[in-house]
Amino acid sequence: MRPNKAELIEMLSLHKPDELEALYKQAYQIKKETVGTKVYFRGIVELSNICTKNCYYCGIRKDNSNNNRYIISKDEVLEAAEWAWKQNYGSMVLQSGEREDAWYISYVNELLQDIHELSRGELGITLSLGEQTEETLKLWQASGAHRYLIRIETSNPELYKQLHPADHSFERRLQTIRTLKKLGWQTGTGVMTGLPGQSVEDLANDILFFYDEDIDMLGMGPFIPHKDTPLGHLVEGFDQELALENGLKLIATCRIALKDINIASTTALQALNPTGREMGLLAGANIIMPNITDTKYRSNYQLYEGKPCLDENASECVHCLERRIESIGETIGYKEWGDSPHFNKRQ
């Protein structure tokens, strides 16, 4: 049933601690009934911070010269993939800045084929590589990737315009999401909360957008200002606690409204509070994406400031995460893809 907008706005406007507690409880109950309390790991490799775009909020935008630009060698990515596979992770995610040149498209394509081969097709592969043509998406799909994450960032085209340069296109972003759906990818999107100029009604519309586009997975998080961006002036006066609350509230509301989809408890939550990712799970999320990028690259992949685990390598993070998940009484779905039940029903 299409969610009721007034009810969404009501949930998204809660602020009293006891009311928020009740909202998270309700979301957790629905999570139990629809996707269960098994957490699925997707080990994420941040392939490259080279990006052709200039989103005003992002720390790795093209015009930020305070990053050392890198691209990880194929061998190093394969090493990370093998580690994730041997660790019994069900899936991995390849994420990077956006580019569409031929060299890059085949670099990704060869990676997909090699990861598929080294894990005997067992490791599920999610891509998070931005806007691409239908042809590229078909190529990568044929090489073994089956899930794709591309956040719409905001479903309000006017707000989108305010947050991006004139040559960035809301329409093309939306088109990529629709093409993915058409081609049969398990499709994820998401938005940031707390964007300058964003209203509670915008967020309610975002949730209706997820419903109308029949989305399988969500990755959402609070906007965290980065000093080396055009929105750097917002660093001063940024309210971490409120940002965390808004992030959790959006997760909970999405779980209640959309039910059987996969929802990630994103690292941005942990940037705001050391136990932010556990809080995300308790507010209705069921996916965690442990960072398995070699630590030597991490300081150069800061889309927002205060990103955690800059010095902890993959094996340190995984044990830490295991403890965190057990501490809230949940289990980890090792060796399972953990596809979204919503997607499975659609098949």
Q: At what angle do helices 5-12 and 200-212 cross, to 10 degrees?
A: 130
Among ligand 5AD, ligand SF4, ligand FES, none, partner that 98 touches (CB below 5 to 8 angstroms by kind):
ligand SF4
Radius of gyration of the chain (CA): 19
Q: Are 53 and 45 in contact (CB under 8 A)?
A: no
Looking at 80, 303, 325, 332, which residue binds ligand 5AD (CB under 6 A)?
303
Among ligand 5AD, ligand SF4, ligand FES, none, partner that 130 touches (CB below 5 to 8 angstroms by kind):
ligand SF4
Q: How far is CA 282 from CA 5, 17, 36, in A?
A: 24, 15, 12
Looking at 31, 42, 61, 249, which residue binds ligand SF4 (CB under 6 A)?
61
User: Which residues in 191-230 contact ligand SF4 (CB under 6 A)?
Assistant: none
Burial of 198 (0-12, 13-18, 19+ CB in 10 A): buried
Applying CB under 6 A, the span of 44-52, 214-222, 312-320, 337-345 interacting with ligand FES comes to 312-320
Q: Residue 312 interacts with ligand FES (CB under 6 A)?
A: yes
Quick note: the x/- pattern for ligand 5AD over 38-57, rule CB under 6 A, is -------------------x
Q: Residue 272 interacts with ligand FES (CB under 6 A)?
A: no
**Encoded tokens for 251:** 């997760």
- At 207, which helix (H) or strand (E)? helix 200-212
Phi, psi values for residue 41, rounded to 5°: -95, 135
Among ligand SF4, ligand FES, ligand 5AD, none, partner that 304 touches (CB below 5 to 8 angstroms by kind):
ligand 5AD
Phi, psi values for residue 57, rounded to 5°: -95, -10
**Encoded tokens for 48:** 């490259």
Q: Nearest approach, Cβ of 306 to ligand SF4 (angstroms)?
A: 16
**Encoded tokens for 245:** 């609350």
Among ligand SF4, ligand FES, ligand 5AD, none, partner that 226 touches (CB below 5 to 8 angstroms by kind):
ligand 5AD
Q: Alpha helices, DSSP H only, in 60-169?
A: 74-86, 102-118, 134-142, 157-163
Q: Residue 31 interacts with ligand SF4 (CB under 6 A)?
A: no
Instruction: Give the span between the Cα atoms of 285 and 262, in whole angstroms.
Output: 7
Residue 242's SS3 state is helix
Q: Which residues contact 60 (CB under 8 A, 6 or more apart)?
A: 49, 51, 67, 97, 300, 301, 302, 303
Instruction: Give the span between the Cα atoms of 272 and 270, in whole angstroms.
Output: 5
Q: Nearest approach, Cβ of 16 to ligand 5AD (angstroms)?
A: 26
C-beta of 49 vs 119, nearer to ligand 5AD: 49
Instruction: Give the span between the Cα atoms of 223 and 269, in whole angstroms.
Output: 10
Looking at 40, 72, 104, 153, which residue binds ligand 5AD (CB under 6 A)?
153
Looking at 27, 77, 264, 268, which residue binds ligand 5AD (CB under 6 A)?
268
Q: Nearest approach, Cβ of 27 to ligand FES (angstroms)?
A: 23
- Give residue for tokens 């400031």: 305
Cα 342 to chain centroid distance, Å, stands at 17
Letter for the amino acid at 285?
A: A
Count of residues that interact with ligand 5AD, criterion CB under 6 A: 12
C-beta of 96 vs 253, nearer to ligand SF4: 96
Q: Residue 90 interacts with ligand 5AD (CB under 6 A)?
A: no
C-beta of 204 vs 244, nearer to ligand FES: 244
C-beta of 98 vs 330, nearer to ligand SF4: 98
By CB under 6 A, name the binding residues for ligand SF4: 51, 53, 55, 58, 60-61, 97-98, 130, 303
By CB under 6 A, name the binding residues for ligand 5AD: 57-58, 151, 153, 192, 221, 223-224, 226, 268, 303-304
By CB under 6 A, name the binding residues for ligand FES: 309, 312, 316-317, 320-321
